[in-house]
Each structure stands twice: as structure tokens, then as C-alpha cells.
Amino acid sequence: MEIYHTLNRGVDKREIFMDNQDRFRFIHDLYVFNDSDLINTGYWDFKKANDSGLNVIARRSIEKKRRKMLVDIHAFCLMSNHYHLLLSPKIKGGIPKFMKKLNMGYARYFNERYKRKGALFEGRYKSIPVMSEEHFGFIPQYIHFNPLDLISPEWRKNQLVDYQKAINFLESYRWSSYLDYVGKKNFPSVTNRGFILDCFGGVKQYENDTKKYLEELDIKSLGKLTLES
């Protein structure tokens, strides 16, 4: 299986998610744009975004037709000025097709909502293939740990002291696939978690290993494998 870690950030590192409506919209786009068919989804369809609104749109898409998926989204994480995805193509060229639809669609929504013009993202997304067992062994957890920058940035230097505080924060952070990986339903329809959970020993083992990975993950030694932002 081909797996790629992808990242894109706002132009000049500007914020691309201003509030929860934007975050819901992007997660909605992760689901809806993962389709080979042309999708037309406008700002007004999602003006009043909330939990129920996301579910209604997703359900409407399912009821209308079965998607012809471009990629498997294994994991994701949204930060204020960038996002991380872990993807596998389901068709030839699936990742670039999906990323083009995702970035263009979200930028259109964002510019309409905030009455702005011009590029939202700094350029073409970054992407790196997961080529080794070592790389695969840390990248899902690394993506899920990114929100710790908000409360305990020292995790990147292996200087985290309060591990339980860090884990509690990850379990309260809605804008990643972590909750679904540890069996707490959040946005389960967006990701395909089966392959990674099989490799990591299942839901309970993934949850149990969280603290161990926080203790052992040496970001500095991993270099460009993390697509540092």
C-alpha cells in the first residue's frame, strides 16, 4: 500500500481556520471532495455549520449516491494555519486530484465567507511517501500529537513532564482523527482506520501506546520525515 504524509499551510503562515465553522467546513470537504465525480458545494450550503449540519450533509451525500473515492484518508489533524493528512490513493493520480479539489474548494469557501481575494495556501501542498517501517511506525501518532503545540510545545524536545495532561488534551481536541482511533466517535465517516489499527494492534493498543510514543518520539532526529511546519 502506498501511503503519503501531506501538509499544506496558509500563505505567509496566515490562519486558515478562524473558528469552528471553518473547521467543520474543512472536515466536511475532506468527506465530500473524496469523490471522482464533480462536486459543487458552496458557501451557502454550509453557512450554519455545526455538529448536526455536518452529519446532515454527509448523510445527504451517502443517500444520493455511493462515492467513487479518490483516496483513503487514514488520519488528519487541523491546526490554525496548516493541516496534516495521511493518504493512500485508490485510483491512479488519486492524491493530486483529491488535493486539488480540497484546496480549491475550501479556499473558495474561505474567500467568500471573509470577503477576500487571492491565494489562501502558500503553494502546492507538501507530500512525502512513507517508505520505511520506522517512518510508518511513528507518523500516525506524530500527526495526532500536533495539537500539543497549543499547550505543551516542549513535547517536540522530549521535555514533556505532565503526560496525563497531554493525553487529556488530545482527548478533548476535536479537530483530528485521534478520537476515532481511540474508540471515541467523532468524525468516523471521514477516515479509513482499519489498516493502521490492524498494524498497531487495535483501538485499545493504540490508546495504550500514546504515552509511550510521547516519551520516545524524537522529533529532531526524524528531520524532514515530519514535514515540519
For every residue of 95-133, DSSP letters joined together read HHHHHHHHHHHHHHHHHHHHT--S-SBSSSPEEEE--SH
For residue 185, pLDDT over 60 is answered with yes
Take residue 21 and report the three cell numbers written for it: 465553522
Give per-residue pLDDT as tens, 152-174.
999 988 888 899 999 999 999 99
**Spatial distance between the Cα atoms of 144 and 181, rounded to a whole number of angstroms:** 10
Model's pTM, two decimal places? 0.88
> Average pLDDT of the chain?
87
Count of helices and strands (H, E) across the chain: 10, 4
Which cell numbers in the block locate residue 161? 513532564
List C-alpha distances in Å: 25 to 33, 51, 131, 134.
12, 11, 32, 34
**Structural class in CATH, domain 4-127:** alpha beta
Provide CATH 3.30.70 ranges for the chain. 4-127
